[in-house]
Amino acid sequence: MSTLNPRQAALNGAMIRFRVMAIYCGVMSLLLWFVNVPTHYLIFKSTHHYFTWIALVHGFTYPIYVLAAFHYCLKARKSFASTIIFILAGTLPIASFIAERRAIKEFKALA
């Protein structure tokens, strides 16, 4: 296992929390947009209640993603605009995956 430099070591915990929440929020966002919304409004209007747990779980865990993204951006000393972009990335289905990849790329560049 490779050793981390002091800058990476300071970011390591925040990076792990952000990665977990970004992937989780991305998966839940995909489920919300491509399973819950179509079944609720387009396909099975009478059986949409089977998928209401997706919206509930996403709604309760999105604030945790916001806190993880904010904590990572504070630790990484990102600008205000970059912090807002990282936080809003959890609202679009693919954007949180892109933000997570960008954060990993920046983290590895610190070496």
- Residues spanned by the domain of 19: 6-109
19 inside domain:
yes
Instruction: Output the pLDDT for position 92.
Output: 86
Long-range CB contact pairs, 98-104, < 8 A, 24+: 99/22, 99/69, 100/18, 100/19, 100/22, 100/23, 100/26, 103/15, 103/18, 103/19, 103/22, 103/72, 103/76, 104/15, 104/19
Instruction: Give the number of domains in the chain.
Output: 1
Q: What is the pLDDT of residues 17-31, one digit of tens each?
A: 999 999 999 999 999
Which range, of 1-5, 64-68, 79-83, averages the lowest pLDDT? Answer: 1-5
Instruction: Note whether residue 96 is domain-resident.
Output: yes
Q: Is residue 105 part of a domain?
A: yes
Instruction: Give the per-residue pLDDT at 2.
Output: 67
Is residue 1 assigned to a domain?
Answer: no
